[in-house]
Amino acid sequence: MKEKAWTRWPSREALSREGLSRSRCLLAWTVRALVLGVLLWGAFADSKVGGWKAAAGAGGVLLAALLAWSFFRTTLQHRLWSSLASLALLQGVAVAAQMSGFTVAALVMWCGCAVSALERLPPAIALTTAGVAFGCYGFVNDSDPLTTVVTGVGLALAGYTLRLDAEARAGAQRLLAQERAARAAEAETAALAERARIAREIHDVLAHSLSAQLVHLEAARLLIERGGKRERVLERVVAAREMARGGLAETRQALSALRGDMTPLEDFLNQLVGTADGAEITITGERRTLPAEASQTVRRAAQEALTNARKHAPGAKVRLRLDYRPHEVTLDVRDSGGSPGELTGTGAGYGLLGMRERAELLGGSLEAGPGEEGFVVTLKVPV
């Protein structure tokens, strides 16, 4: 046994009664009742006991019970000196009982002290204390030496077995507590991940819709400031209204996606391209159903790329290519370039950054930069 193990207390879980089954608690209280009964029988079995001696015997039993309770409480709190004091006083009561003629009660108290010490004290202290208690028991017991030795060894094994049983129970409680904590942490992590997913969906939908509306509303404002024709201003306002309607539809679609009910990716991209002038889409590879997160990432990246094309290269042709590969899906969005639009400076520039972060969460990537003609956005998502 290592040096620290000799001075290490049993864990508080082992010393407490927490986690004990009802049958174990019933057994423990039955043993206590039997010990108390033996003490009372040892004190009053002799019919000659009476008067002050009987009162002293009853007081001794109550004092022994109080000291035993104090010993259990102080060992639970790992208070060494208080525990030793309670145990020493308890053995002192046993000595007084022996000197007063209550031999059975004294033997029971010495045996109880030894077993309790082996169960609840650090090993080095427990062996010393139990040795003293067993020594007193052997000195007083008038049985033959072999019986005394066998009884002492049996009681020592009982105390050690109780210690091992308590430590095993404490270990099981700690494992159970760790498992519950791990499950709670896992549930909390899952809840946070779901909240983050919902936040991303709502943010992407609103960012796309509001950004598109801002493009048209800002254009309308510039036309008004420059004295543009009423028809052109009205055209921009109507376009913004249509974008608002589209944003509402996309929000509803995002809520449906969160419930696991999504339209096929190809249909969504075709509808998206159909609302953008000068945009076309090509789909290659073996079409298949993508996981929800991967499908949503492709949808949002396509929306963001088209919004950026309208903003930074108005009137440019945009080509989308969706390629189903064996282990990933790739979306390539290219515009033909053109003169910067009046709304190039609008927006915070976080759209592509958010798409890149979303792709990286799935183990994919998003690259954006100038191409041969215009701007190119390439998304790769493993599936």
Strand partners, 73: none
Half-sphere exposure of 309 (CA within 13 A, CB side): 28
CA distances from 117 to 155, 162, 189 (A): 11, 11, 45
Q: Are 313 and 341 in contact (CB under 8 A)?
A: yes
Under the phi-then-psi rule, with left for phi > 0, alpha for psi from -120 to 50, and beta for the rest, what region is 338?
A: left
Domain boundaries, the chain: 3-142, 264-383
Express each pLDDT in 352-367 by its tens digit.
777 888 888 889 999 9
Q: In this predicted model, what pLDDT tens digit does every residue of 308-337 receive, in sequence order? A: 888 777 778 889 999 999 899 999 999 887
The CATH number, out of the four listed (3.90.226.10, 3.30.70.20, 3.40.50.11290, 3.30.565.10), of the domain defined by the range 264-383: 3.30.565.10
Which phi and psi angles does 78 have, rounded to 5°? 60, 40
- For residues 29 and 44, the model is more confident at 29
pLDDT at 348: 45
Taking alpha carbons only, the member of 322, 351, 335 closest to residue 215 is 351
175-233 pLDDT tens trace: 888 888 888 888 888 777 767 777 776 776 676 677 777 877 888 888 888 877 788 88
Per-residue model confidence as pLDDT tens digits over 271-319: 888 877 778 899 998 888 888 788 888 888 888 888 888 877 777 888 9
Please tell me whether residue 102 adopts helix, strand or coil conformation. coil
CA 1/CA 127 separation, integer angstroms: 14
Give the C-alpha separation, 131 to 362, whole Å: 66
Confidence of residue 380 (pLDDT cuts 50, 70, 90): very high
